[in-house]
Structures are given as C-alpha cells and as structure tokens.
A and B are shown apart, each in its own frame.
Chain A
Amino acid sequence: MFIRYIDESINRERDSMNIYTVYQKYNKDFIAYAKSITRNKDKAFDIVQEAYVSALEREEIFINMNEYQIKGWFFRVIKNKHIDNIRKLNKILLYENDEIIGIDGSFEEEVAINDLIEKLPEKNKEVVLLRYKMHLNSKEIGEKLGIPSSTVRSRLSASMKILKNNL
C-alpha cells in the first residue's frame, strides 16, 4: 500500500472533529467573517486560506481541542491575519484624542515603534495596546481598566508625544 490516509478522528476519544473536518464544515462561515472585515472577496479567500495553512503547519496544537475551540481558533487567526496585512502595507494609524495621525513608515520604523511601545510606562503601554491592537475606543478602554475615559485620552496623548519624540 503506497497511500495511507490518516483519519485523525479514529485516534481521538474526545471529539470526532479535527482541523480538516472543522475547516470543511465551517469554511463558508470563515469566508463570510473574512469578507465582513476585509470588505474584499479576494482578500477574504486569501486570509482564510492562510489561516488554514497555518493550522496545518501547527497540527499538534489542536490535539486536545474540540470542534468549537478549533473553530474559535480559526476566527481569531483570520482576524489577526487581517491585522497583519494592514501592518504590512507600512501604514501605522495612531489615535490621539480620537484624531487619526497617519505615518507612512518603513518596516524598520514599524519595528522601532513596537520596541518603543514596549518601553512605555506600564499605564501608558496598556492604553496604547488596547487602542492599537484591539481597536477599542477611549470609553471601552476606560471600562476595561476602571478609569475615566478622560484619563485614557490624556495617557494616550502623553504616549503619542513620547513615541513621536523618539521616532
């Protein structure tokens, strides 16, 4: 016999679903979600495909996951790949007091900015990350951290000044 089909589900007591079957079952849901965030049909197909290939490359991480956990993983990775694609365009959007400041930067500048964010005081760093990584507004950040939204905005403002001065 020269071809062996490995049916992962036979070996798994916990769940009969694996990355292959979850991907087949929910493929249209993933594409619909990707379309809703990318607003572009071709990009949506691409990032769903990238997410699937990422899953295949790290098959071992799904060993103890059930169908819903695998599905959740796909949704997260699709969103993260979309964010990565935006970053790759080398545009950094920073929010300061609800105004958008756009900087066209090189890859080296982007890495430098990420390093600078890491070195910010903890209180400043957390608001910048919640704004920049998770796209929350000032009110949402305030609720998460238990501080007034005005405090969020002043910390963001201070952080932006530090980052700009050090770029």
Chain B
Amino acid sequence: MSKIINIGFLDIRDIKEDLAAEISQIENIGVLIESEESQIFLKNCEKMNIGISIKLPKDMQTIVQSEDIKLDRDYLEGISEPVAVLVSGSITFEDNIDSSLVNEKIYSMIVAGEIIVPKRIVAVVQSKSIIDGQFLIYKNGYTLFDDTIKMSNQFLNSLKPNSKLAFNELLVMEDIDLALFEEKISNIQVLTKLVITADNESKLSQYIDEYYLIDKTVIPKGSKYMDNNIYIDATSIKKYKDNILFVDGEVEIYLKDDIKIDEYIKFLICKKIICGSRDLPKIEKILGHDDIEIEIVEGKPIRNNGKMILSGDLEHMEEEISIRNSGKLVLEKNLNYEKFNEKVVSIINNGLIIVPEEKIGIVKSKIIENRGSIKSLEENKEKLKEDEENILYANMGELKL
C-alpha cells in the first residue's frame, strides 16, 4: 500500500480502480479534486490535512495556474463550457466583465492568493469562490494598477484627463505638480497601502477615496523610504548619504568604532532599533522621535535568513557573536561546542534550529527570544526517513491521476 503526500493540486477524478486500491493514504494536499467515482474507489483511503476538497464532474474542464493571472472579457468569452479555475497566485478581473459572463463561464474558483475584482461582480465571484487569501474590491469604472506604483509627474503626464485610478499599493514621495494632478486625476482608490510625504498629503488627500480608512504611512519630505527591515554595518552604511531614513520596520546596526553614523544618516525613523550598547550613544543622536523601541543585543550579529550550517572548530571566530536566526540553522555533531558556548552570547530564534539531542541544552541556554522551533538532529532524520517509505507520489505542485 502506498501514500500520496505533499501535492499542491491533486485531481483524482479519473483515477482507475486498480490504482486507487493501491493507495492507503493521501496527506498534505492543498486542493483535492474528486468525483463521485473516485470517492467510492477511495472510500477506505485515509485523507489527512486536506486544505480544500471539492467534487467536480469528471468532464469539467479546469484551468490550473500557479502564477498571477488577469481575466478580461475576451478571455471569458473564449471559454466554451463552464470551467473550474484553480489558482495559486492572484487573479484579477478587469473592469469590462459583467456578472452574467462570470456566472455563465465559471463553475467555481479556488484561489490561494488574492482575488481582485470590480465592485459590480463581487457577489457573483464570491458565490463561486473558495479563497485562502485576500479579496480586494475596486470601484466600477476605475483603471486598476495591481502592482506598486510610484506616482510622479511623468506618470501623471501619461494619463487621460479626469482619470479614475485604483492602485493596489501607491507611493507618493516625489513633489507632485498640483495643477497637473488636478487636470489628470478625478479620483484615486488605494486597495492595500499608501506611502505619502506630509506635504503631498495636505495637497492630495481630498482626491483619495475614504482616505481616513486607508493603511497609510506618512513620511517627512525628502526621506529615503525602506519598506522592510534593514541591516546597517560599516559597508552598507556608505549608501546612505546624509539621508533622512524612514524604515517601515526594524533597523539592526553594528558599526566599527571609527564610523560616525551621523555622517551618513541625518535622521532615522523606524519601528525598532537593534544594536549593541557600544553603538547606542551614536545612534541616539540621530533618532527621529522618542517612540522608537530599542533592543540591546551584545555581540557581533550573525544573521541567517536562509539555511546555515555550523560545523568544525570555529577557528576564525575571534569576537563574541549573537545569532539571529530567521531561517534554518543546523548545528552539526562535529561542531566545537565548547567554543560555541564561549563565543555565542545570545540567540534570537524566529526559525528552525536543528542540533544533536545531547547539545540541545547548550543551545537553549543561549536563547533570549524564541518564536521558532528547536529540534534534535535525530528526530529530524527519523521524520525524513518515515516520509520516504511507501511513497507513490510526493512533493509536487500539480498532479492529475
């Protein structure tokens, strides 16, 4: 008897009885598509961790996409029979589609991602959809930009007068010519996020629909805007030239003694600073306001956002370090744990640490914050071996049997 495990889309509508008889377990399936017949053939099969299970007629066509797709009138009119649409990604409906067309052409939709629709067809799309993700609605008659757009005078010049625009995400950081804006724009709708300078806000907010409800970030004029957490050290600091730096996240700073941060960054505004006590006096001089959270972590930071393996003697590790793990950190059996214990001051774990069973205590003693998981090497190997047994199909995006 065999297993089918870890499949994104699994279509078993046409499964043959003799193959079905071989299958004892179906596990970790994103979307399971069944028929009356397959349900009978697999009635004794154990089904575990099925994200979405849907029964479709055997002859129903499916559109399966693992990418972002856009549907417009032409696309739907080209479909001859109703289809089931299965998408990993985002699906965007253009404004030229009406409810009757959706109703006629789409049997059902299963989406892991986003559905972006004009308001006139919300009801019919929702009635046909199962979505793991966001449902974003833009107003009828608006032209949709479903990416992140940086508004500029050049962008405005390209528009027709009195345009109504919907943006998934909009950045308004350049100086906008108000007369040009008023000529080209009638209304703006922002679906997810707006980043705008304070002086643009005072000029333009009246043109942005439901401005008070939008998720917005207002930044000082002339700021360099960074959307994610950043790390500043002696090398990366050189790209900031007398900036006002606005970071929509955390800033981790580790500088050599001879670096004067205020020679590169005039003001720093962010949610949180992570630094050593040695760097704190320098950093405090440039903080843009008093509400910034400060976390002191001693030791040179070693950051892992991917997969990192520590092994051997650590002969090049001279100074004390602090490990910030946001990925998968594997500590091998041949690692010099005595030196590890001596040199590693702290560990902040937001990922997965795998360590030999007998050394887990050493690792845990270094943990100052753990929002991840710590597992033994042996447990991890056993799990992988277990999964390898009796596998018929595994680890695939899409499979039709």
Contact = CB atoms under 8 A, between A and B. Distances in A.
A56 B327 contact: yes
A145 B68 CA distance: 29
* Residue from A20, A56, A79, A80 with most neighbouring chain B CB atoms (10 Å): A56
Given A76-B30, A76-B112, A65 B306 contact: no
B308 interface: yes
A69 to B, nearest CB: 5
Interface in B27-43: 28, 30, 39
Contact of A4 (B30, B192, B308, B387): B308
Interface in A32-88: 32-33, 36, 46, 49, 52-53, 56-66, 68-69, 71-73, 75-76, 78-80
Contacts of B114: 29
B375 interface: yes
B28 A61 contact: yes
Given A49-B372, A59-B328, A76-B51, A69 B305 contact: no
Nearest to B307: A6
Contacts of B222: none
Interface string B376-401: 00000000100100000011110000
A24 B88 contact: no
B174 to A, nearest CB: 23
Contacts of A27: 228
A146 to B, nearest CB: 9
B54 A52 contact: no
* Residue from B66, B316, B335, B371 with most neighbouring chain A CB atoms (10 Å): B66
B8 A73 contact: yes
Contacts of B372: 49, 53, 56
Given A32-B192, A72-B88, A75-B113, A5 B307 contact: yes
A71 B112 contact: yes
A8 interface: yes
Question: Chain A's interface: helix, strand, loop or mixed, by majority?
Answer: helix
B132 A76 contact: yes
B308 A61 contact: no
B260 interface: no
B308 A6 contact: yes
B188 to A, nearest CB: 20
Contacts of B397: 64-66, 69
A8 B66 contact: no
B127 A60 contact: no
A140 interface: yes
Contacts of A60: 6, 384, 387, 395
A126 to B, nearest CB: 8
Contacts of B302: 3
Contact of B55 (A52, A63, A73, A144): A144
B384 A8 contact: no
A127 B31 CA distance: 18
Contacts of A71: 88-89, 112-113
A3 B304 CA distance: 11
Contact of A53 (B66, B316, B352): B352
Interface string A85-112: 0000000000000000000000000000
Given A76-B132, A80-B51, A5 B8 contact: no
Contacts of B384: 60
A62 B28 CA distance: 12
A60 B302 CA distance: 25
A66 B66 CA distance: 8
Interface in B138-169: none
* Residue from A2, A32, A69, A80 with most neighbouring chain B CB atoms (10 Å): A2
A121 B128 CA distance: 27
B8 A72 contact: yes
A13 interface: no
B351 A53 contact: yes
Contacts of A167: none
A115 interface: no
Contacts of A49: 350, 371-372
B266 to A, nearest CB: 27
A2 B306 contact: no
A2 B66 contact: no
A46 B133 CA distance: 17
B309 A3 contact: yes
B67 A2 contact: no
Nearest to A46: B371
B362 interface: no
Interface in B277-309: 302, 304-309
A162 to B, nearest CB: 20
Interface in B231-248: none
A27 B316 CA distance: 34
Contact of B306 (A7, A68, A69): A7
Given A69-B66, A72-B87, A143-B127, 8 more contacts: A8-B307, A24-B305, A46-B371, A56-B373, A64-B396, A66-B66, A68-B66, A129-B53
Q: 9 tightest CB-CB pairs across the interface, nearest first?
A: A72-B112, A72-B88, A61-B6, A56-B352, A68-B89, A6-B307, A75-B132, A75-B133, A76-B51
